[in-house]
Chains A and B, each alone.
Chain A
Amino acid sequence: KQEVTQIPAALSVPEGENLVLNCSFTDSAIYNLQWFRQDPGKGLTSLLLIQSSQREQTSGRLNASLDKSSGRSTLYIAASQPGDSATYLCAVRRGAGNNRKLIWGLGTSLAVNP
């Protein structure tokens, strides 16, 4: 059974710091992995999607890596800003053809302090 874990549950850093959020999964047979951002009381916004054949994806100050063999993905945020404060969730897709097979982590709540 696939399980997705995000550690730490909460993180507080000063503005400008580079930081890494972690996502671990127990079954390496994944189709893809997505990182999302959720602001308090709001919906989720997709940040990056990494296919199983890829090693990393980049968007602006964000870089997500995937290591299937170790069951781990990291989301790197460069030069963090107070506007980056949010909860970051990762989700693993188990198979092709059906988006419902997403297994979600509980998220890491990030606070970037001015």
Chain B
Amino acid sequence: DGGITQSPKYLFRKEGQNVTLSCEQNLNHDAMYWYRQDPGQGLRLIYYSQIVNDFQKGDIAEGYSVSREKKESFPLTVTSAQKNPTAFYLCASTRQGGEKLFFGSGTQLSVL
């Protein structure tokens, strides 16, 4: 079955550490997105990519970085510059020109 796989499900970050969240899709979708979800706030867009080797900042990109070397993969790195990283991170994708978002199952990131 096609879908989006996020790993790990739970991740803990120590002070000053960079951590990377994985997102892989086998839907052959061109566009991929990273969202952050915090209690009491709507989903916020971190980064998005419409095509391989290209990506754009979303609304809250500071302290995060991404790469898009393969169509199937869009990893998100939470750097030490992100001072409040505790949140639920969601990866999503759409086909080219499509509007229906497909989501992964999420990664819960916490600070030790």
Chain A interface residues (CB < 8 Å from chain B): 4, 32, 34, 36, 41-46, 49, 89, 91, 93, 99-100, 102-106
For B4, the chain A residues whose CB sits under 8 A away are 43
- Minimum Cβ distance to chain A for residue B100 (Å): 5
Could you write out 29 A-B pairs with CB less than 8 Å apart? A34-B99, A34-B100, A36-B101, A41-B88, A41-B108, A42-B105, A42-B106, A43-B90, A43-B92, A44-B90, A44-B92, A45-B103, A49-B99, A49-B100, A93-B99, A99-B31, A99-B33, A99-B98, A99-B101, A100-B33, A100-B45, A100-B48, A102-B45, A102-B101, A103-B42, A104-B42, A104-B43, A106-B40, A106-B41
Q: In whole angstroms, what is the CA distance A89 to B41 when docked? A: 12
Query: With an 8 A cutoff between CB atoms, is B86 at the interface?
Result: no
Min CB gap B37→A, angstroms: 9
Q: B94 within 8 Å of A by Cβ?
A: yes
Q: Would you call B103 and A44 a contact (CB within 8 A)?
A: yes
State which residues 88-112 of B face A: CB under 8 Å. 88, 90, 92, 94, 98-106, 108
Answer whether residue B75 sits at the interface, using C-beta atoms and an 8 A cutoff.
Answer: no
A42-B105, A91-B43, A106-B41 are known; give 19 further A-B pairs, CB within 8 A. Answer: A4-B42, A32-B99, A42-B106, A43-B4, A43-B90, A43-B106, A44-B90, A44-B103, A49-B99, A49-B100, A93-B99, A99-B48, A102-B43, A102-B45, A102-B101, A103-B42, A104-B42, A104-B43, A106-B40
Q: Given the complex, which residues of B lie within 8 Å of A102, measured CB to CB?
A: 43, 45, 101
